[in-house]
Structure 1
Amino acid sequence: MTGDAPTKRLPPRWFIRTAWVVHRAIYRVTRGRRGLWKPKPGKWGTIVLRTTGRRTGAERAAIVAYLEDGPNLVTMAMNGWADPEPAWWLNLQATPDATVDLPDGGRLAVRAREAEGAERDRLWAAYLVTDENLASYTARRNRRTAIVVLEPRR
């Protein structure tokens, strides 16, 4: 749990999952021309995170929200505010090297790690600026939500 934040009402799980399906479909149908955007002050952006499946070794893709932190991209390992860890985060824990499709059409090789300590606190505060209900949503989970730093690889 993340604290004593009052819980804010969430849409039903089926609605959240349907929104994900529609978002991915828009991205695919438009061949990447729609569905990704850069973060703006006080708003997160979206990227496609491509990981290696921990069991299959096959490429897996997920659209995730992100913030920029200097050259790094930062995301949160949340599964629609449900308790289980998202599969992409489990994949990154097994194989931290991944690639990211950027909103400008570029692709970036990254290495993932979990933010800890003061860095985590700073990045968590940056995410709180993007959504006043975030603390309430993460309080629903029985585990701490990982802040994932995607560092560019050379």
Structure 2
Amino acid sequence: MSDGHGEKTPWLPPRWFIRLAWSVHRGLYRAGGGRIGLWRPRTNGWGTLRLTTTGRRSGQQRSVILGYLEDGPNLFSLAMNGWGEAEPAWWLNLQAHPDASVEMVGGPRLVRGRAATDEERVRLWARWREVDTNLDGNAARRPSETAVVVLEPRPGGAPTVQ
């Protein structure tokens, strides 16, 4: 398969398989009481965290497990939705309500989400490319640019666990 520019588009499993894999991951997290399913980034790979946002329409808490990398005190992820066309709901929620929380191996953290821009976006995209050699080919599947989402620490310490 070609991306229209003569370059071969990397193979991806079918969308239903990607969605199933993330559902199983969430199930393992729940079944393990949060002790299974989260890990820190490795030298050659990303980590996983659980992001809780406020629903843009419902106002209810919504959680999702995401891949992430670290950038100093900040965390960052890609709003890729399994490389599907639509923006992921968690990113739409963060745009409407930037304050959120994350659960990580090291414990909970309050964060504020925003899109990386300009040189910061280029730098963080290049960092992600170091752990995903198919990043550019997969991103070409989307009709719009994939947002690099920065999760900055915010004052207030750790959120209360409900």
Q: Find the aligned partners of 1:103 and 1:11 in 2 and give their Cα distance.
A: 28
Match for residue 33 of structure 2 among 23, 31, 34 = 31
Asked which structure has the greater CA Rg, the reply is 2
Aligned counterpart, 1:124: 125
Q: Find the aligned partners of 1:127 and 1:61 in 2 and give their Cα distance.
A: 23
Q: Find the aligned partners of 1:48 and 1:145 in 2 and give their Cα distance.
A: 20
Runs of 4+ in structure 1 deviating by more than 6 angstroms, as ranges, are: none
What residue identity is the alignment partner of 1:144?
Answer: E
Q: Say how many residue pairs are matched.
A: 152
Aligned counterpart, 1:58: 60
RMSD (Å), alpha carbons: 1.4
- SS at 2:86 equivalent: coil
Q: Find the aligned partners of 2:110 and 2:35 in 1 and give their Cα distance.
A: 20
The one-character-per-residue Cα deviations of 1:51-96 (angstroms, maximum 9, x if unpaired) are 0000000000000000000000000001001010000000000000
Aligned counterpart, 1:46: 48
Structure 1 gap segments, 5+ residues each: none
What residue identity is the alignment partner of 1:143?
Answer: S
Q: Please report the TM-score for the alignment, with normalisation by the length of structure 1.
A: 0.95
Higher relative contact order (CA 8 A, sep 6+): 1
Shift of 1:6: 3.0
The one-character-per-residue Cα deviations of 1:88-118 (angstroms, maximum 9, x if unpaired) are 00000000000000123x1100001100010
What residue identity is the alignment partner of 1:82?
Answer: G
Q: Find the aligned partners of 1:102 and 1:91 in 2 and give their Cα distance.
A: 20
Aligned counterpart, 1:85: 87
- SS at 1:80 equivalent: helix
What residue identity is the alignment partner of 2:151?
Answer: L
Shift of 1:42: 2.3
- SS at 2:146 equivalent: coil
